[in-house]
Structure 1
Amino acid sequence: MNKFDAIVIGAGQAGIPLAKKLAAAGRRTALIEKRFLGGTCVNDGCTPTKTMIAVARLSYLSRKAQAFGIPSDPSQLNLSAVLDRKNEVVNRFRSGLEKGVKDIKNLEMFSGTASFTGPDTLSVNGETLSAEHIFINTGARPMIPAIPGLADIPYLTSTTILDLDKIPEHLAIIGSGYIAMELGQMYARFGSRVTILERNAAPLEKEDDDVAACIRQILEEDNVTFLTNAAVNKVSRNLDGQTELTLMQHSEEKRITCSHLLVAAGRAPNTEELNLSLAGVKTGPHGYIEVNDRLETSAPGIYAMGDVKGGPAFTHISYNDHLIVAHNIIDKQNLSIKDRMIPYCMFTDPELGRVGLTEKEALKQGFKIKVATLPLSRVARGIETGDTRGLMKAVINTENKQILGAAILSVSGGEIMSVLQMAMTGNITYEQLRDTAFAHPTFSESLNNLFLSLDND
C-alpha cells in the first residue's frame, strides 16, 4: 500500500491548486487524473468555447462594419483555422498546468481512474493508495436525457461539438440554458440555421423574465429560432440522413428535421466509477455528493469540491471551494460556503453578468425591494460604440439601500457586474454608487443613471 497524507481525485480548478498547497505545507500528496489536467474549464468548457465565441463576435462585427463606414466583404469562415486556434489555446493552457505540477516536492501524479476500496483507501491502475484526507474534484459531464431513439443517432454534446469539422446546415439544440445560448448564437453567426427547443414556457428559467426576454430577442436578431413548450418525445434518422425530432407543443404533435442535434439538457456528476458507497460517502437523488457548509462529505476525512457536489457549476466556485478547504485544513480556520456570493457570466454577445438575487428570488425571500433598470439604448458608451443591445438591472433592499443582486446584459457585462459585486461585498449603498464619479465615457459610468432612476420612484 502506498500511504499519503492527502489524496486529490481530479485535477480540475480545485484539485490542482489544493494539491499544490498541501504539498507546499509538507504533506505527501497524490493527485489523480484520468484524462487531462485542467478539468472541464480548460479542456471542454471556458477556454475552448470562449476562444471560438470570440471568432463568432469578430464575424458579427465584420458584417456590421459597413454601417460604420468601413468597407466590408467578409469571406467564408475558415472553420479549420478556428479549430486550430482553439486547440492551440487549450494545449497552451493544459501544458502550463502540466509544467506547474511537474517536479513539485511532496506531490506525486497518477494517471488513471480512482475507485474507493474502503473509507480511506482507493485503487488506481491496480495500485492501492491510502490517506487520512481525500478530496474529490471529479467534476461533471453532459447529461443525456432518456429520449427514445436518441442513443441510436450521432448526437452532439457541449464537448464533442467543439471538434465538429463542418458548420451545421441546421443545428437543433435540446435545452435553453447557458450552454445552449452561447453555442446557439455562436453557430448562428458561423452560418448555421439554429433552433433551440425548450420544454418550459420560456428559456433561462432561473433569470428574471425581463432579462431572459431581452436575451431571447438578441439571439433572435442573430436568426436563432426558439420553440418553447416543446418536449422532445422521440428522435430518429430519416432516409435522407437527417435527424428527425418528434415534439409535443401545446398538446400538438410536431416534427422538425435538422442536420445536427446538440443535447444541452444539463450536467451529471462524475461519481459512478468512484464506488463511493465503499467509502461511506452519501450522494443525493441525482448522484451529486452531499456536503456540509465546510465541504465535508458524510465520510470523515473526505471532502468534495466543484461541480461533483452540485450547486452552481462554475469554475470560480470550484476554485473558491479549494480555498475554503485549504484554509480550514492547513491554516486551521473555520471558513464556510454558507451565504457565499455567487457571481457568474453567460458569454453570449452581449454577455450577461449576474450576481446576488434576482428580482423574483428577492420577493420570494420576503425582502422589501426597489428595482432599477436602464436599457442600453440610454447608455452613452453603448450609443457611441454602436451597440445598444441589452439592459442593466439592480435589485435594492429598501430597508438599508444596499444591492441585493444585479443583472448586466451589455458589452463587458461581466466587468460592470464586478463593480456591483465589490459594492455588495463592501456594503456600499446604491446612493453612494449613484453619486460616485466614474471615468467618462465608460459603461460603468452608467451606474450613476441606473440608480438615479430610483429617485423618481
Structure 2
Amino acid sequence: MAAQRVDFDLAIIGSGGAAFAAAIRATNLGKSVLMVERATAGGTCVNTGCVPSKALIAAADARHVALEAGSRFPGIIASAGPVDMPALIGGKQALVEGMRAEKYDALIADYGWDFRQGDAAFAGTPEDPALEITSPDGRRDTVTAAHYLAATGSTPWTPIVPGLADVDYLTSTTAMELEEVPETLLVVGGGYVALEQAQLFSRLGSNVTMVVRSRLASAEEPEVSLALTNVFADEGIRVTRRAALVSISRDAATGGVKALADVAGGREELRAARLLMATGRRAVTEGLNLYTVGVKTGDRGEVLVRKTMASTNPRIWAAGDVTGHREFVYVASTHGALAVENAFTNAGREVDYSHLPRVAFTTPALAAVGLTDEEAKDAGISCDCRVLPLEYVPRALVNRDTRGFIKLVAEHGTGRILGLTAVGKEAGDIAAAGVYILEAGMTVDQVANLWSPYLTMAEGIKIAAQSYATDISRLSCCAT
C-alpha cells in the first residue's frame, strides 16, 4: 500500500518553549514543520510567565534592597519612593516584546518553518488525523502531517468558591498588568507562584495577606515553610495557614473584596482592595477535539502521555504544561525536543524527573533537587539528614543575610546524597550544583572533601556535607 501523502512532517499546536524546541529539533533533522498559534508567539514563558514575572520581581527586589540597605550595612544610606506602576509595567512590556522579537519571531524566519495564526483543532479519525485551522478572518484550512505535537500550555485555574465569579479577581497573568499598586492585597494559595507574587507586591508597597490551605510550599521540606513564613513575617506579609475559603463577595463599603474563611476551627473575615487567586494552572486542551483522534486526557484536561511523550495515538505527541507535568520551561523544552527525536528517529528516549531542579524566585530564594526527607521515607529508604543554617556559610555572613538553610538528604549507610534543598541567596545555583552531585551518585564524604571556592553560596553544600562528621561550629571560616 502506498504511503499516505502529508502536507508536513510535523504540525505543532502552540508556540511556547515546548513548541520551539520541537520545531528547532525537527528542522535540524531536515523535517518540514508547521506551527499554529492562536494568540501571540512565545507562549506563557516570555509573554505572561517567567520573563515578565521575574523582571517585576527583580525591580521589587531592587526597591526593597534600597529600603533595607541602612539596616543591613552600616554606613549606607538609601531610600526609595512610591512606585510608578505604569512606567514599571511599560518597562516590563518593552523587555517582553524585545525578547519575543529576538528569541521567537526572528528564529521562525531563521529556521524557515511555516507559522500560521489561527485556532487549530483535530479532525479526521484516529487512523487518519488532520488539523483544521481557522484563521483570524474566519477562513478554514485542513492540513495533514506525519506527526502532530500538542504544545498548548496551561492557564491559571481557580477552584469553585461561592461568589468568586462575581468579583473582579486577579490571576498571575492579569496581576502583572496592574496600573497601580493595590493598597491591600489578598493572595490565595501557597505554591511557588503565590509566594513570588505575594512578596513582589509587598515590596512594591501593598499590605499583603496570604490564605493558605496547609503551609507555604507544602510539597517541599517543612523547614522551607518555616523559613519563608519567618521571612514574610519580617517583611509584613501575613500568612493565614490551614485556611479554607467559604465565600468571596464585593465589599460594598470600600469597593474591594471580602473573603470568609474557616481558619483553625473558627471563621475569619478578610478584606482587601484586590484579590489574587494563585491556586494553580490547568492544561489548555478545550476545543482541540482530542477525543476525535483517540487522544485520552486526564481529570484536569491534561494530555495523557507515556515517558516518551507519546499520547494514546502513536502519531500525536504532547509536550510542556499541557501534559500536566511539572510547569517549568526547561521541562517543556526537554519534552519538545525528546518528542521529535522519538517520533522521527525512533530513539525511544524517556523523560527522567528524578533529578529535576525546582526553584521559586522569592528572596531569599527556594530551590530543591531530588528527594525530600519524607519522599525518601515513603520510598522505604532509611535516611540521614542534616540541616545547615546559613549562619555557618561565610558568604551569607558577608552578605549580612543569614536567613535560610541548606538541607541534605543522604542514604543511611552509604552516605549517597539523594536530595538537596536550600533557602537563601542564589539557592537556584546551589540546586544546579546539586543536580550534578545527584547525577554522579556522590556521597557526603566525597562532597565534604571536594574543592569549593571560598565565599560562594555553593560552598554551603560542602559545609553541609562536612556536618555529617564534623562539628562545624568549631571550624574556622577560612578553613573549611
Same fold (TM over 0.5): yes
For residue 43 of structure 2, the aligned residue among 23, 27, 39 is 39
Which residue of 1 is the match for residue 478 of structure 2? none
The Cα shift of 1:340 comes to 4.4
3-state SS of paired residue (2:258): strand
Which residue of 2 is the match for residue 94 of structure 1? 100
Are 1:217 and 2:221 an aligned pair?
no
Which residue of 2 is the match for residue 8 of structure 1? 12
Structure 1: gaps of 5 or more residues: none
Root mean square deviation, CA, Å: 1.6
The Cα shift of 1:428 comes to 2.1
Which residue of 2 is the match for residue 326 of structure 1? 340
Letter in 2 for 1:3: D
Which residue of 2 is the match for residue 231 of structure 1? 244
Q: Check 1:103–1:407 CA distance in 2 against 1; reply closer, same or farther (3 A cut).
A: closer
Output one character per residue of 1:402-442: Cα deviation in whole Å (capped at 9) or x when no partner.
Answer: 21111111100000111111111122222111111211121
Count matched residues: 455
8 Å Cα contact 2:216-2:228 kept in structure 1: no
Which residue of 2 is the match for residue 81 of structure 1? 87
Letter in 1 for 2:270: I
3-state SS of paired residue (2:144): strand
8 Å Cα contact 1:36-1:94 kept in structure 2: no
Which residue of 1 is the match for residue 476 of structure 2? none
Output one character per residue of 1:288-332: Cα deviation in whole Å (capped at 9) or x when no partner.
Answer: 111111111111211111111112111111111123223323443
Are 1:449 and 2:463 an aligned pair?
yes
For residue 282 of structure 2, the aligned residue among 268, 288, 301 is 268
3-state SS of paired residue (1:63): helix
Q: Check 1:450–1:317 CA distance in 2 against 1; reply closer, same or farther (3 A cut).
A: same
Q: Which moved more, 1:222-231 or 1:244-253?
A: 244-253
Structure 2: gaps of 5 or more residues: 135-139, 472-480
3-state SS of paired residue (1:184): helix
Are 1:362 and 2:368 an aligned pair?
no
The Cα shift of 1:456 comes to 5.0
Distance in 1 (CA, whole Å) between partners of 2:353 and 2:42 is 27
Q: Check 1:414–1:339 CA distance in 2 against 1; reply closer, same or farther (3 A cut).
A: closer
Q: Which moved more, 1:166-175 or 1:246-255?
A: 246-255
Letter in 1 for 2:231: I
Output one character per residue of 1:48-73: Cα deviation in whole Å (capped at 9) or x when no partner.
Answer: 01101011111111112223211222
Correspondence list, 1:61-80, <5 A: 61-67=65-71, 68=73, 69-80=75-86
3-state SS of paired residue (1:35): coil
3-state SS of paired residue (1:219): helix
Q: Which moved more, 1:119-128 or 1:73-82?
A: 73-82
3-state SS of paired residue (2:7): strand
Distance in 2 (CA, whole Å) between partners of 1:177 and 1:408 is 16
The Cα shift of 1:338 comes to 4.1
The TM-score normalised by the length of structure 2 is: 0.92
Distance in 2 (CA, whole Å) between partners of 1:268 and 1:447 is 35
3-state SS of paired residue (1:272): coil
Which residue of 1 is the match for residue 315 of structure 2? 301
Output one character per residue of 1:146-173: Cα deviation in whole Å (capped at 9) or x when no partner.
Answer: 1111111110000000000110111001
The Cα shift of 1:95 comes to 0.7
Which residue of 2 is the match for residue 311 of structure 1? 325
Which residue of 2 is the match for residue 243 of structure 1? 257
3-state SS of paired residue (1:274): coil
Q: Check 1:63–1:37 CA distance in 2 against 1; reply closer, same or farther (3 A cut).
A: same
Q: Which moved more, 1:175-184 or 1:12-21?
A: 12-21
Q: Which moved more, 1:306-315 or 1:398-407?
A: 398-407
Distance in 1 (CA, whole Å) between partners of 2:56 and 2:142 is 41
Output one character per residue of 1:268-301: Cα deviation in whole Å (capped at 9) or x when no partner.
Answer: 1100111111111101111111111111111121
Distance in 1 (CA, whole Å) between partners of 2:416 and 2:120 is 46
For residue 117 of structure 2, the aligned residue among 111, 120, 125 is 111
Are 1:139 and 2:145 an aligned pair?
no
Distance in 2 (CA, whole Å) between partners of 1:333 and 1:317 is 18
Are 1:21 and 2:11 an aligned pair?
no
The Cα shift of 1:113 comes to 1.3
Which residue of 2 is the match for residue 392 of structure 1? 406
Distance in 2 (CA, whole Å) between partners of 1:104 and 1:324 is 19
Letter in 1 for 2:239: F
Distance in 2 (CA, whole Å) between partners of 1:233 and 1:211 is 28
Distance in 1 (CA, whole Å) between partners of 2:266 and 2:442 is 52
Letter in 2 for 1:276: L
3-state SS of paired residue (2:162): coil
The Cα shift of 1:78 comes to 2.1
Letter in 2 for 1:232: L
8 Å Cα contact 2:224-2:366 kept in structure 1: no
Distance in 2 (CA, whole Å) between partners of 1:416 and 1:139 is 28
Which residue of 2 is the match for residue 129 of structure 1? 143
Distance in 1 (CA, whole Å) between partners of 2:227 and 2:374 is 16
For residue 166 of structure 1, the aligned residue among 180, 183, 191 is 180
The Cα shift of 1:447 comes to 2.0
The Cα shift of 1:376 comes to 0.9
3-state SS of paired residue (1:205): coil
Distance in 1 (CA, whole Å) between partners of 2:242 and 2:437 is 39
For residue 59 of structure 1, the aligned residue among 51, 63, 67 is 63
Letter in 2 for 1:122: L
3-state SS of paired residue (2:88): helix
Distance in 2 (CA, whole Å) between partners of 1:353 and 1:176 is 15
Letter in 2 for 1:113: D
Distance in 2 (CA, whole Å) between partners of 1:136 and 1:246 is 40
Q: Which moved more, 1:408-417 or 1:111-120?
A: 111-120
Distance in 2 (CA, whole Å) between partners of 1:182 and 1:165 is 19
Distance in 1 (CA, whole Å) between partners of 2:243 and 2:25 is 48
The Cα shift of 1:144 comes to 1.8
Which residue of 1 is the match for residue 202 of structure 2? 188
Correspondence list, 1:197-216, <5 A: 197-200=211-214, 202-216=215-229
Which residue of 2 is the match for residue 153 of structure 1? 167
The Cα shift of 1:339 comes to 5.0
Distance in 2 (CA, whole Å) between partners of 1:9 and 1:43 is 17
Output one character per residue of 1:70-95: Cα deviation in whole Å (capped at 9) or x when no partner.
Answer: 12222222222221221111111111
Distance in 1 (CA, whole Å) between partners of 2:40 and 2:123 is 24
The TM-score normalised by the length of structure 1 is: 0.96
Correspondence list, 1:252-267, <5 A: 252-267=266-281
Letter in 2 for 1:228: R
